[in-house]
Chain A
């Protein structure tokens, strides 16, 4: 089969060849000129047959079947009217699935599109944009199952195991999150320098003024709560005028010995504890203990104060978010979804950005527009068709999201969505084909607008 440019077409064939000058647009060929060359219709059917058979039996027929089946009860013997459809909006678990699907549809496509837009714009400014795009696009190749396992690890509750909470705790501690010593308290009995309060805080029994030092011994600290950075306890530094100093330490010598109420060798300081000076109930000054347990309160006005160790110091330290708990689980799964799909949005939008004529942007800049104005008034409107395609595609995809919710949610009804609920009703123990069909048909109806959008787009392209 050789390539035949127009001028080499043999004269005998010009009747057909004449039409070939026109644009290659198969949809609009004048019929009479094609008759000699066009293959018969039955041949076309032959080419189409395998596809039509498969689509007919495995896609079209099932749609019809599902619609009919959705009007019958679980056994399939009795007509149930709309009961299966109203049932989707009844019962705690179904309502959770409906609510979560609504959250998914409203939040996920827009967030992914915005992030994709942000990435696409930012990558225009760097040289290694190809590498960046590859990194962000990579999760698209990974299965939702593997992504689900990946994010189960990321979202592990224990900050020592889950990287999400490890990062949260690190950031939290960086911004002054105090250490916690749950269960710690003063030595019981009268004549002790400290006394526990009903609200969980610990107060000094005596009063301290500027120039004085306080010894604040604590007990009952479990070894696992002792921070690694704690060093042997020190005596409080001498207090300068206007200062109150002190030491908070673990008043317990291993193997016994030592004087109670004084920092002895072998005892450790307690870092990160907040100490407040109180006048009545008003906090006048605060300080935080150092690694050796000492603290220096500066600029303390003259007077006499009770010192307080607030209850925060005696509750467990910040442990990160409960990602897979009932409130955060859907946002957490959407986070995993964002990780997978941001690359898709970015790549489509970046292609759209590249297609924007630079003249338009330059013209706006010459007219004195700021970069933000250029972005807002020129880039975004020109990009609108691409953004719509991305949003529509993501919305369809979000409606079908199953694996990610199934794997990360692990069957928790608080995470469920309609696509998963359909599986649960029909296959996952619900054993109710009627209800399953109704949810499937509902999903189908929900993607219907996207279907019409596609058809309209296609027809416009053809014109």
Chain B
């Protein structure tokens, strides 16, 4: 450490926030280069951000123009002809019973899948984290191994299995229940993995004390673990919600037209892409707006989930 190092002023506000603790010292030359480089980085990142926003923005504008306008020219024409903006496509779409039904089906599939995964995985994760039983470590390794299994492996066998489950007027194959259970099963490995790691980090004192107070395992799970697991459960819930809401493949295989979610319905409208822009653009926008709201509202938990989980 030379004296000129100490003489240099601490980095200005352009320095990364996490450098604040160490008060990094930089030579004047580095700072000048940093300033110029910073300017280039600013411009570059602004351009990149624009490139990232334009596609979604284009979809939004396309959904607000008539089919005739869309086939006559690109969405950017609204900058010169703002009068093209119309909500007609949305009105027409919301008048289609098929679409409205599929919207409800999406909710009917997504909400139970999310709740079931959270509950079932919490129970299992608690057992893995805080209960002793023979073969526990091996069983947990199995769950970790299942993290990466592609759904493709299960599509055919489960179709056959579901085909055999029918009683009364109920057919598992094609039903919302079948779709939900499939999503739950394939959501479980990640969910158990995420929650076990979180639960295992809960201070042992807390648990021991609860057990000594004579709390049953069920009470401890309900009163101690579940509330403390809040952030991890929130991450998991958001993940599962988005995963199921956005799914197309599982729905295409297991859902009847009567049980189909929005994604499958929209896919069925794609045979005529250009001609159906007035259905596809607003439909796609309606299907992505709820995930986006969830994303912006719970962004912190979403990012935490990404950081904790990766590997799926």
Contact = CB atoms under 8 A, between A and B. Distances in A.
Contacts of A144: 246, 248
Contacts of A407: 248, 267, 270
Given A122-B45, A141-B295, A443 B248 contact: no
Contacts of B247: 143
B217 A43 contact: yes
Interface stretch (B87-95, B149-157, B229-237): B149-157
A396 B148 contact: yes
Given A17-B208, A450-B148, A55 B188 contact: yes
Contact of B152 (A119, A166, A389, A422): A422
A31 B14 CA distance: 54
Interface stretch (A210-218, A259-267, A274-282, A431-439): A431-439
A188 interface: no
A347 interface: yes
Interface string B53-94: 111101100100000001101111000000000000000000
B42 to A, nearest CB: 6
Main SS at interface, chain B: helix
A6 B212 CA distance: 13
A312 B183 CA distance: 57
Given A3-B206, A358-B22, A396-B311, A58 B131 contact: no
Given A20-B204, A149-B281, A347-B303, A163 B292 contact: no
Contacts of A447: 148-150
A173 interface: no
Contact of A59 (B120, B186, B267): B186
A86 interface: no
Contact of B24 (A20, A27, A362): A362
B13 interface: yes
Specify which of A39, A154, A344 lies most central, judged by the most chain B CB atoms within 10 Å of its CB: A39
A101 to B, nearest CB: 12
A66 B306 contact: no
A141 B302 contact: yes
Interface string A449-463: 011001100110000
Given A160-B73, A419-B150, A153 B58 contact: yes
A399 B284 contact: no
14 contacts: A4-B212, A9-B212, A16-B208, A24-B203, A59-B146, A122-B45, A125-B37, A136-B48, A142-B288, A153-B59, A161-B74, A396-B148, A396-B312, A406-B267
The 7 closest A-B pairs by CB, nearest first: A143-B246, A4-B209, A58-B185, A62-B157, A141-B295, A62-B154, A65-B157
Interface of A: 1-6, 9-10, 13, 16-17, 19-20, 22, 24-27, 29, 31, 34, 37-39, 41, 43-45, 47-48, 50-52, 54-55, 57-63, 65-66, 69, 119, 122-127, 131-132, 134-146, 149-154, 156, 160-163, 166, 339, 344, 347-348, 351, 354, 358-359, 362, 365-366, 371, 389-390, 392-393, 396-397, 399-400, 402-403, 406-407, 410, 419, 422-423, 426-427, 433, 436-437, 439-441, 443-444, 447, 450-451, 454-455, 458-459
Interface of B: 1, 5, 13-14, 16, 18-19, 21-22, 24-26, 30, 33-34, 37-38, 41-42, 44-45, 48-49, 52-56, 58-59, 62, 70-71, 73-76, 120-121, 123-124, 126-134, 136-137, 139, 141, 143-158, 160-161, 181-182, 184-186, 188-189, 192, 200-206, 208-213, 215, 217, 219-221, 223-224, 242, 245-249, 252-253, 263, 266-267, 270, 273, 277, 280-281, 284-285, 287-288, 291-292, 294-296, 299, 302-303, 306-307, 310-312
